[in-house]
Structure 1
Amino acid sequence: MKVSKASDVLANELRERILTGEFPEGVGLPAERDLVTQTHMSRTTVREALRILEVQGLIRIKAGRTGGAFVQRPGEEAMASTVNLLIRGQQIRLADLLGMREAIEPYCAQLAAANRTDAELELLDAAVAALTDDEGPLSTFLEANVEWHVLVARASHNKLLSGMMTALSQAIYAATDDEQFVDLEVRHTTARAHATITAAIRDHDGEAAVRRMTRHVHSYAAVVLGADEDREIVVP
């Protein structure tokens, strides 16, 4: 039988108390010396447990006289970071990432059309405007492209979809930062597609948003993967 380390046991207990709301967000955990007294564990074990929770994004450590370990809820960035580690660690192929995006992003667009706010629409419009700059470097275009896709997911108001799309968009950006995949024609086509999808979201037209997003992500995948059919592309 595998015996858990004491630090893992303590981290698991504290994690459960955080996730169930016993320790609300922003509240400080008991001081190290108090945890040592309460758990009868060594200070080294307590510190290791706190480091585990910090890495998992469940607490933030603040130094100084008013410092300590303060509870924070894991958010979109934590999920995106975890998914990105999986993508890079497993060397997921670009074709698989694009296929995943084709599967979930049209639904993001449908939800965005139903749930978007005026403020979110303004951000989408700004991202579309940034995509129309033909003279800017490819990196600027790709960053604006990522921003737009993430904004659509956030406008869905589904945090799981938002976190997943953040990870996918960042990984696709890393794999396509190459003029071989994204030339000027692709830039123009992408900008036009984003504008029409944004228009559907503005009009609360979920059916049009799904239809246009489906066509866009499928066409983009076909162009990118068709640029080098013989090379197996993995995310760097």
Structure 2
Amino acid sequence: MVDKIRAPKSFDLLAQRLREAILSGEIAEGDSLPPERELVEQTGLTRGSVREALKQLSAEGLVQTRPGRFGGNTVTLPGKDIMTNSLNQFVRGRRMPLRTLNETREVLEPALARLAAVHRTEDDLARIRRLHDDLVAASGDFHQFSRVNVKWHNAVAAASGNDVLSAVLEALSFGVTVSTTVDAYDTEDTRQQVIRVHSKIVEAIEQHDGERAERHMRQHLGATHARVAGTKSADVPLSSPSAVENV
């Protein structure tokens, strides 16, 4: 028996050709694609097929379309936000429990802290310090503390210089927020403990001590997730309203 043969649609073929040319560097970022009329003439496709292909590329972040007489289609390259948004939707759509995200963070964040200590710039360090000061100032406000805490963790990730790993962490940011808005965090003592360990991580990053930064981050996450493990939040799917109401 022979299965049905499904020929690819013409606009998919055009999108694939243009996509490959962009990703391979044959068409450079900032270059303008030919006008729709020329693409119709060059490919023999209908104008509708050409527009559908360009629409696909625009959704993928590979083409920026500007309408109007002086508009057109300019080649762009995907930003970190494309990966972050896709992973965020995967986690939320699959209803991953908080425990899964915490396990991911335990693997990821100590390595990011180590890389931050190795690769951070003075600007990176200044931002991490500033957010740490904001965290101290917010210690009396449960929800503000949590919001600043997420920004601090993302700043450490960004300082790693690894856009792939930092994009993954940013996609899990709402999970970080949920971790720190459980009742166990709604105490001044717990928040002071967080501030103390954060200060040790900041110091290690400042001194380019990757091993110490990694060790303190691992201890920090272990303590954080131990607080969450005994709560109902650990198994709440993160797509549910109760899990993300404070994000």
> For the superposition of Structure 1 and Structure 2, which TM-score range results when normalised by the shorter chain?
over 0.9
| Alignment equivalent of 2:139, drawn from 134, 137, 149 | 134
Deviation of 1:2 (Å): 2.9
Is the partner of 1:4 in helix, strand or coil? Answer: coil
Deviation of 1:190 (Å): 2.0
Deviation of 1:228 (Å): 2.5
Contact 2:175/2:238, CA 8 A, preserved across alignment: yes
Which residue of 1 is the match for residue 212 of structure 2?
A: 208
Is the partner of 2:202 in helix, strand or coil? Answer: helix
Which residue of 1 is the match for residue 29 of structure 2?
A: 25
Q: Does 1:235 align with 2:233?
A: no
Look up the equivalent residue of 1:95 and give its one-letter code.
R
Which residue of 1 is the match for residue 79 of structure 2?
A: 75
For 1:182 and 1:55, locate their aligned partners in 2 and report how far apart those are by CA, in whole Å. 39
Instruction: Count residues in correspondence.
Output: 233
Is the partner of 2:34 in helix, strand or coil? Answer: coil
Which residue of 1 is the match for residue 244 of structure 2?
A: none
- Structure 1 residues not aligned, in runs of 5+: none
Deviation of 1:130 (Å): 1.3
Deviation of 1:177 (Å): 7.0
- Deviation readout 1:145-197 (Å, 9 max, x if unpaired): 11111111111111111111111123432x34745353133322222222210
Which residue of 1 is the match for residue 129 of structure 2?
A: 125
Contact 2:142/2:186, CA 8 A, preserved across alignment: no
Is the partner of 1:166 in helix, strand or coil? Answer: helix
Taking structure 1 as the reference length, the TM-score comes to: 0.92
Q: Which range moves more in the overlay, 198-207 or 51-60? A: 51-60
Percent identity between the two aligned chains: 38
- Give the 5 Å matches for 1:8-157: 8-132=12-136, 133-136=138-141, 138=143, 140-157=144-161
Is the partner of 2:103 in helix, strand or coil? Answer: helix
- Structure 2 residues not aligned, in runs of 5+: 240-247
Which residue of 1 is the match for residue 186 of structure 2?
A: 183
Q: Which range moves more in the overlay, 106-115 or 2-11? A: 2-11
Look up the equivalent residue of 1:158 and give its one-letter code.
N
Contact 1:57/1:72, CA 8 A, preserved across alignment: yes
Is the partner of 1:88 in helix, strand or coil? Answer: helix
Alignment RMSD, CA only? 1.7
Taking structure 2 as the reference length, the TM-score comes to: 0.88
